[in-house]
Amino acid sequence: MCVKFMIGEKMFKTLLLFLLVFVKGANAQEFIKESGLIDDDTKMQQPLNVEIGKNEDIEAKLLKCLQLSQDEAQEIELYLKSAPVDAQNIVEQLKDADSYKNKQGNSVIFVGPPGAGKTTIAKAIASKLLREDGWEAVFIKSGDLLGHVRNKTRSNLSTILDAIAASKKKTIIIIDELNELLENAHDSHYDTSATAKYLWQFLDTHKKNTDLYFIGTMNRDTQLPQPMKNRIVQRRIIFGSTLTEDQKLQEFLSIAFKAGITFEEAINKDYIKARFKNLSSDMARDNTEFVYLLRRIYARSHNITSGEIAITRDLFDITYAEYQKNYEEIEYHHVIETQSDRQDRIEVQRILIDHFLKEPTALMTLTSPVQSNSLKLLMATLNDKQKAEWLKIIERLKKNNSYN
């Protein structure tokens, strides 16, 4: 079974038709009509192939199932070497039937900032098992499941996962940006409560199903509903600064070489390491983007957009400076506070300010914060603007004697 997920209701229905044919076989057309996915008067223009993907070779499956280009399919497994050890071990775990059946769980969550390699490593694991151990793979972007009416997202997800489970084929399921389907489940303004409940029930139902392995990727896992946290807390694999300086350097040079870039002698390993200390180059995406910027800046002055190029030290320094400037201009490190984040922050601050105002040394603390643990904790949650606002509130409360 090999499925590529696409945005749009029409495309989504097409996907479901293929999944149903895969599961129901010869009775598919009758089942589909009964399901309401197509009208009674709708005629299929051509018969659907029940054995989806059966006659495809491995490379064709990789391109379709994992949404990879030909170049990516050839190189993706190389990234496993830079993955966290726990992620690398998933491959051998699934190859060892006894280990998988008796000792390990069948779900894992990759957590880390954008560009840390979560999706790439998930695809690399699936690629290796597809090539070497006969597993199938399904890659789902969470955004492709989102519906326009309440509970449609849950319906989309359940239709797909239930069909995969019913196929009884060894399948790795990857859901990218999974937190988008689960966050704000407590808020009635969001359509995530039913989706989150379905997913944790699905994982519970199939926790001993050795035909399935579930990988979810998340940029963060702090805003999930508590039942979901209970199920993933010991199944998280953290992605981030996992590479040594030498590994980062080798990864960068490998990407540059594949992009047709060579460096003059003055750009040695120590020179590159020194520059990259000030960049977020522990992320795989950053290395690729830096190489892209090198080529773009080279093209400005040499009018060459393809082929091999040789980078001088001056051009490297220009690229380095522009790379940093680009991050600063978009305020890259300024994280926009979501409504949920703001509510959590205000609640923490309310508790801390309450503790502070009850302290006998509250007045003294205003001029000497180091003397109050609660005020120190409070201030640690604030930026400069918020600190000024809270100190104004404290001053006003002090004048009104409302802290006694």
pLDDT of residue 4 exceeding 70, the answer is no
Per-residue pLDDT, averaged over 86-91, amounts to 92
By the 10 Å C-beta count (0-12 exposed, 13-18 middle, 19+ buried), 93 is classed as middle
Three-state secondary structure call for residue 373: helix
pLDDT of residue 329: 85
pLDDT of residue 351: 65
Predicted pLDDT of residue 201: 93
> Is the C-alpha dihedral spanning 88, 92, 94, 100 positive or negative?
negative
Q: How confident is the model at residue 322 (pLDDT cuts 50, 70, 90)?
A: very high
> Tell me, what amino acid is at 378?
L
- 281 — pLDDT class (breaks 50, 70, 90): very low
pLDDT band of residue 353 (cuts 50, 70, 90) is low
pLDDT one-digit tens code per residue, 245-258: 787 788 888 889 88
Question: Residue 354: what pLDDT?
Answer: 66
Structure tokens at 279: 């960049």
Residues 6+ apart with CB under 8 A from 35: 20
Coil, strand, or helix at residue 2?
A: strand
Please give the pLDDT value at position 363.
Answer: 47
pLDDT on residue 344? 63
To 10 degrees, what angle do helices 152-167 and 9-24 make?
30
Q: Which pLDDT score, from 0 to 100, does residue 166 have? A: 93
Q: Check pLDDT > 50 for residue 22.
A: no
Helices (H) and strands (E) in the chain, counts: 19, 8
Residue 279 vs residue 290, higher pLDDT:
290
pTM (predicted TM-score): 0.62
Average pLDDT, the chain: 76
Whether residue 171 is predicted with pLDDT greater than 60 in this model: the reply is: yes
Give the residue-averaged pLDDT of 322-330: 86
Please say whether the dihedral angle defined by the alpha carbons of residues 186, 191, 196 and 198, taken in this order, is positive or negative: positive
Rounded to whole angstroms, the Cα distance separating 151 from 132 reads 38
C-alpha–C-alpha distance, residues 321 and 317, integer Å? 6
For the residues of 46-111, what is the DSSP string, one character each? S---SSTTTTS-HHHHHHHHTT--HHHHHHGGGGGGGS-HHHHHHHHHHH-HHHHHHT--SEEEEE
What are phi and psi for residue 193, nearest 5 degrees? -60, -50
pLDDT tens digits along 381-399: 667 777 777 677 666 665 6
Which pLDDT belongs to residue 368?
A: 47
Section 107-115 average pLDDT: 90
With contact defined as beta carbons under 8 Å apart, do 214 and 107 qualify? yes
Q: Per the structure block, which two tokens stand in for 266?
A: 């003055």
| pLDDT for 39 beyond 80 | no
Which tokens is 172 given? 């790795």
